Chains A and B, each alone.
Chain A
Amino acid sequence: MAERRSGIDYYGVAVLLILWELAPRLGWIDSQFFPAPSAIFAEGAKLWADGTLVLHITVSLKRTFLGLLGATALAVPLGFVLGGWFPRFTRFLSPLLNLFGQINAFSLFPLFVLFFGIGELAKFSIIFWSCLWPILFTTIAGVQGVEPLFIKLARSMGGGRGALLVKVLIPGALPSIFTGVRIGATVAFLMLIAAEMIGASSGLGWLVHNSSVNYIIPRLYLAALLIALLGTMLNYSLHWLENHLIHWKTS
């Protein structure tokens, strides 16, 4: 099954690349707006050599991870407290939480900038906000979805709250939490790129923005491709991590 998933049709990609390379060269399309892959590749090599590419990639990834980490660090414990200890309060609160979850982080961007300035904190807030809600929701759902028989069993063996949390609730809720983290990471990355286009001086989003302002079209394509590639890789590595952490799930 894993075979299938990574089995993008490589022939298709190859054919597409060849066509793309030929089209501007043969004058079918304007190379000004549609540079050939070789031109994009050359641009990449150049930026790689002077280190700027690595810089932008690192900056974007770092922002994503920091935001994701921060959101996870808050959402998971909060989800356990809400879902596990105050189920009634949570039910009462859930319309409000859902509403918050629906608020696109971008509509809050001006607020974030107002509070935190245009610096890193505003971008962190965007990612933090976007990841927080999916992780919080899936954690609450995960805790509340733990099989009651498991809890009954642990209690019958005299397990206290600590044992119940560590040995039953956390492992039981883990699959659901992970789904939230994965959704959060995907959304966060998309949000980040957009945020970098609006207000940043580095990162892949900024690279797109900067290239377009300065009419460096091959670089624009390069950045866009890299964003797609990194997003995919992010998703795959989270899938991989999930399969290794939650290997006991029936396949």
Chain B
Amino acid sequence: MAGVVDVPQQIQTDAKIVVKAITSVFHLKKTRTEPAREFIALKEINLEVKKGEFLVLVGPSGCGKSTLLDILTGLAQPTSGAVYIDGNKVTGPALDRGIVLQGYALFPWRTVRQNVEFGLEIKKVPKRERRAISDNFIHLVGLDGFADRFPHELSGGMKQRVAIARALAYDPEVLLMDEPFAAVDAQTRESLQDELLRIWEATGKTILFVTHSIEEAVFLGDRVAVLTPNPGTLREIVKIDLPRPRHNSDTRSSAEFGWIRRKIWELLQNAPHESRHHLNAVPVAEAISPTASL
């Protein structure tokens, strides 16, 4: 198996996050209809995120966005390549990165406050301090008065806010967000976007935000990284020069917004021919690969 390629433990860099030549291959088990084969979810991804930057990853379903985020979190190991935070190689999960998962994943047996304090408990922050911190973040996401509610008593938008507060509460420098607003209605989504920008400006976090909405990507990001599937490759990084602070009401109506959106849409439409080739080529290659007999 590939993967035992030498990668340095540390690198010299100014960037907050460096993604270096990440490739991720899944070994699919044999099924009744198909032999065992390899599936390349991500191929040679290179990416740098500056400190305090808001970077958005956009791409169609199945292009490996969540896989990349898992690797950044330290929950999954890449087949080859490495991720560096502040120049140090990521070897596992740590509290310097906060995550908001696809789906809220709030603990139903914990109140809003207890959910927000989860990371702090793991960090063994004393109770009094925890309380002060959770009060602060519950306020930041606009949920004052809901601290003692249970998740099943909240709306989708409120749950999403709790998930964000939970990720922020233990003060990670990097916030990794996987389609956090996918499950709420359009209006709530826009207000959550406004709110996220406000929080970002207030806290100065480095944010890596995954979405498959082009609009959302353009509205939020400093830069937008466009991924294409089969295998997941980084197509291009588009710089978004829209002025800040942005607000949903006027930013979206600007001509420039429409122009950038169009550009990203085209990038996603015209996936390079090479990737289409891959679609057909993969099974053939796998059929003769040594793992096929497994």
Known: A152-B75, A154-B122. A147 touches B105 (CB 8 A): yes
Instruction: List chain A residues, Cβ under 8 A from B74.
Output: 156
Q: Would you call A248 and B170 a contact (CB within 8 A)?
A: no
Q: Nearest chain B CB to A88's CB is how many angstroms away?
A: 14
Taken together as a complex, chains A and B put the C-alpha atoms of A34 and B118 apart, in Å, by 63
Q: Would you call B93 and A149 a contact (CB within 8 A)?
A: no
How many B residues face the partner with a CB closer than 8 A?
24
Interface of A, secondary structure class, is helix
Instruction: List chain A residues, Cβ under 8 A from B107.
Output: 150, 167-168, 171
Instruction: List chain A residues, Cβ under 8 A from B75.
Output: 152, 155-156
Interface positions, chain B 75-103, Cβ under 8 Å from A, are 75, 93-95, 97, 99, 101, 103
Q: Would you call A248 and B109 a contact (CB within 8 A)?
A: yes
Q: Say if the beta carbon of B121 comes within 8 Å of chain A.
A: yes
Q: Nearest chain B CB to A153's CB is how many angstroms away?
A: 5
Q: Nearest chain B CB to A149's CB is how many angstroms away?
A: 4
Q: Say if the beta carbon of B258 comes within 8 Å of chain A.
A: no
Q: Say if the beta carbon of A158 comes within 8 Å of chain B.
A: yes
Q: Say if the beta carbon of A159 comes within 8 Å of chain B.
A: yes
Q: Say if the beta carbon of B150 comes within 8 Å of chain A.
A: yes
Q: Give per-residue flags for A146-180: 1 if the beta carbon is below 8 A from chain B beta carbons, else 0.
A: 01011011111111000100011001101000000
Q: Say if the beta carbon of B27 comes within 8 Å of chain A.
A: no
Q: Would you call A171 and B109 a contact (CB within 8 A)?
A: yes
Which of A154, A159, A167, A249 interacts with B108 by CB under 8 Å? A249
Residue of A nearest to B105 (CB): A149
How many A residues face the partner with a CB closer than 8 A?
21
Q: Say if the beta carbon of B30 comes within 8 Å of chain A.
A: no
Q: Say if the beta carbon of A250 comes within 8 Å of chain B.
A: yes
Taken together as a complex, chains A and B put the C-alpha atoms of A241 and B279 apart, in Å, by 56
Taken together as a complex, chains A and B put the C-alpha atoms of A149 and B107 apart, in Å, by 10
Residue of B nearest to A170 (CB): B109
User: Which residues of A are interface residues toward B (Cβ below 8 A)?
Assistant: 147, 149-150, 152-159, 163, 167-168, 171-172, 174, 246, 248-250
Q: A156-B97, A157-B119, A250-B108 are in contact. List 20 more A-B contacts (CB 8 A).
A: A149-B103, A150-B105, A152-B75, A152-B105, A155-B75, A156-B74, A157-B118, A158-B93, A158-B122, A159-B122, A163-B121, A167-B107, A172-B109, A174-B109, A246-B109, A248-B150, A248-B151, A248-B152, A249-B152, A250-B152
